[in-house]
Structure 1
Amino acid sequence: MTSRVLTTPLCELTGVRHPVVQTGMGWVAGPRLVSATAEAGGLGVLASATMTLPQLAEAVREVKSRTDQPFGVNLRADAGDAEERVDLLIRERVAVASFALAPSERLIGKLKDAGVVVIPSVGARRHAEKVAGWGADAVLVQGGEGGGHTGSVATTLLLPQVVDAVDIPVIAAGGFFDGRGLAAALCYGAAGIAMGTRFLLTSDSAVPREVKQAYLAASVNDTVVTSRVDGLPHRMLRTALTDSAESRSLLRRLPDALRQAVAFRSLTGMSWRRMIGDGLAMRRAHGLPFSRLLLAANTPMLIRSALVEGHPDAGILPAGQAVGVIDELPSCAELIDGIVTEAARILRERSTAVHQP
């Protein structure tokens, strides 16, 4: 395995050996994947948005039983119980809190006072400047190539903007899958890379093998960014469901969305009050009309149908464009070792070439 050959400010900040982050993918980033990433020297991040508070507590303790390495938890800043989740992270001494939406200045301060590293995810320079001004320790910036909810600006344009705008470590996401990408990100001034699709497609991922095969069979042209599924730009594999969503009217899709939202409530044990409160918070954050909020509430069950139950044609398969260049299922240890080794070699060779007379 690789020795500690690429130490960056991200490593120093979080205590990980390698500047590689596994993102908090809903239904995918559970204790098994997170602990495997942590053991391999990367920063594994638990996805908590699809967990109740007791489920999150159990997942955190399971990760801690599997590894003594640092790991993180991804939180929804607009969740009705965000405060309780922050308190849980503090009690359990979780190393890193990441956020899909910008947390409040007060929450950032509370976590930092307890020694928890705060890393919000952003999709624009102004958002990075805002959270940096509020005291965030680092920022993860995702370009349009990334999977799930994403923006329209390519990583190669967004990343240098953010690096130039803030004086905290910047983690690059969107389109990364190998050591060449890590080397390029470091040359741009990033402190590391974050990957979702690449970690989903590992042997440590709990996603059913037949679903992984659907991902492996995809080309770089087989993803689509659509707002027709949940009202927000969402990059996913093109399937029969996405084609249907693109062709059917909003009115025709609402009954199915309502049934899925009821199923999600039953599965998670969330109260209607909590679901409505979270929905209103999402509406304020994204400016969604009420009809689109119902579609957004529907999304977790559609993702679960594909990634947990193994029905890719009946659900959503979030995917970055990098899916089209991935053709194997390494372990997390093999993946991170290969990425860091390749990046170190490339940087060493380029440095030697540049300094030759």
Structure 2
Amino acid sequence: MTTPPPVADLTTPLTELVGVRHPIVQTGMGWVAGPRLVSATANAGALGLLASATMSPEQLRSAVREVKSCTEAPFGVNLRADAGDAGERVRIIVDEGVRVASFALAPSRELIARLKDAGVVVIPSIGARRHAEKVAAWGADAVVVQGGEGGGHTGDVATTVLLPQVVDAVDIPVVAAGGFFDGRGLAAALAYGAAGVAMGTRFLLTSDSTVPDAVKAQYLAAQVKDVTVTRAVDGLPHRMLRTPFVSSLESAGRVRVLVRAVRHAAGFRKLSGMSWSRMVRDGLAMKHGKELSWSQVLLAANTPMLLKASMVDGRTDLGVMASGQVAGVIEDLPSCAELVERVMAEAVEVLGRLSRH
């Protein structure tokens, strides 16, 4: 087991809530946030989140046990609240003693209560003040607030506008996401009233990330202008690197796009071990309470498979690269330990310098 290097500590409501040394969260990125990255993050003193949406329940249990074999530090699991087997995944989290459950979509009041009754810390991710207010009223322990700069599915409100709105609206710890990559950002988030920052792209671009080296090289070569938002993947706004493949998706006809989605749905069913009936139920759950067309529900199958093509198989000509805008300013591949140490040292230096003025 790797012993983390000595780095400056900043105690915040987040560190006290989840028991980590540093107010930094590594987000649950599909096909990226696996046991290696999560355990390296945990050993560095930050909170790592396993991405479970691309795992079967059996794979999730195995991944949790692998992380536990590599670290004694707290970590979490990111879940899809609308998945048909969410209850089974919650049972795995509870059985295995996982410290934190995070959600990309707001979990139900009942799911929050079940986790809290078992002593699990519940941290949903939200993109609007009203969603933060809702989950806080339901008993969520903290929220991750992602502004429009963030990678993957995103909104159009900048972090610097959304973050203070949410901080003022709820009485639980708020973690800032979208546009963070260094200690200056952490210091700025703390100044806004956040309890820490969450970073995806910055952790993807570490030596502990399992993303193929050639794919990492494309991220490092990207400029800020090379990061775009498109609806071509699944009908929802999705921030990613602009590539010839993304352009081809945007120019493809509707029939061609839907045929590809059906093929990807079949591929994901095989990988995940899900039945067609379970996939249909998950589609109905996605649609419930949302203004989604059936085409959008079907297109959702594109997301995991197009991400896998790049993040696992290294085929950026056949897949997409979800990315925050910060990809345009990241230039190296430190280890998670080096990254956390750097961010913390810089944040402490910045805060100290400001306090002297």
TM-score, normalised via structure 1 length = 0.97
User: Is 1:70 the counterpart of 2:58 in the alignment?
Assistant: no
Structure 2, unmatched stretches of 5+, are none
Which range moved further: 269-278 or 203-212? 269-278
Query: Residue type of the partner of 1:309?
Result: D
Deviation at 1:176, TM superposition (A): 0.3
TM alignment of 1:1-357, pairs within 5 A = 1-353=5-357
Task: Report how far residue 285 of structure 1 moved.
Answer: 4.9
1:233 aligned partner, one-letter code:
P
What displacement does 1:327 show? 0.5
How many residues align? The count is 353
Structure 1 contact 279–297 (Cα < 8 Å) conserved: no
Aligned partners of 1:14 and 1:95 also within 8 Å: yes
Alpha-carbon distance, 1:253 to partner: 1.2
Q: Write the letter of the residue equivalent to 1:126.
A: R
Following TM superposition, by how much is the alpha carbon of 1:3 offset from its aligned partner in structure 2, in angstroms? 3.7
Specify whether residues 243 and 139 from structure 1 end up closer, same or farther in structure 2 by C-alpha distance, changes over 3 A only: same
**Aligned counterparts of 2:335 and 2:119: Cα–Cα separation in 1:** 31
The CA distance in 1 between the partners of 2:59 and 2:9, in whole Å, is 37
Deviation at 1:4, TM superposition (A): 4.5
Q: Take 1:82 and 1:256, find their aligned partners in 2: how far apart are those partners?
A: 27
CA distance in 1, matches of 2:341, 2:317: 34
Moved more, 195-204 or 222-231: 222-231
The answer for unaligned runs of 5 or more in structure 1 is none
User: Residue 2 of structure 1 contacts residue 341 of structure 1 at CA under 8 Å; is this kept in 2?
Assistant: no
How large is the RMSD of aligned CA atoms in angstroms? 0.9
Please state how far the C-alpha of 1:290 moved relative to its aligned partner.
Answer: 0.9
Once the two structures are superposed, residues 185-218 of structure 1 have per-residue CA deviations (whole angstroms, 9 ceiling, x without a partner) of: 0000000000000000000000000000010000
| Range moving further from structure 2, 282-291 or 148-157 | 282-291
User: Is contact 1:254-1:295 (8 Å) kept?
Assistant: yes
Query: Residue 135 of structure 1 aligns to a residue in which SS?
Result: coil
Structure 2 residue identity aligned to 1:222: D
What one-letter code is carried by the residue in structure 2 that aligns with 1:252?
A: R
Q: Could you tell me how far apart the structure 2 residues matched to 1:27 and 1:5 are? A: 30
* Paired letter, 2:240: M
Native 8 Å contact 2:7 2:341 kept in 1: no
Deviations 1:79-123 (A, max 9, x none): 001011111111111000000111111111111111100000000
Measured in 2, the distance between the counterparts of 1:97 and 1:275 equals 23
User: What CA distance in whole angstroms lies between the structure 1 residues aligned with 2:232 and 2:180?
Assistant: 26
Q: Secondary structure at the match of 2:160?
A: helix
Per the TM alignment, residue 67 of structure 1 is displaced from its structure 2 partner at its CA by 0.4
> Per-residue CA shift, 1:270-306, capped at 9, x if unaligned?
1001111111111225421111222111221110001
Distance 1:334 1:4 in 2: 13
- Partners of 2:8 and 2:345 within 8 A in 1: no
The one-letter code matched in structure 1 to 2:323 is: A
**So what's the TM-score if we normalise by structure 2?**
0.97
Deviations 1:326-356 (A, max 9, x none): 0100000000000011000100110011xxx
Q: Which amino acid aligns with 2:244?
A: A
CA distance in structure 1 between the partners assigned to 2:102 and 2:172 by the alignment? 15
Output the amino acid matched with 1:114: A
1:2 CA displacement: 3.7
* 2:301 alignment partner, SS class: helix
1:2/1:340 contact within 8 Å kept: no
Structure 1 letter corresponding to 2:31: W
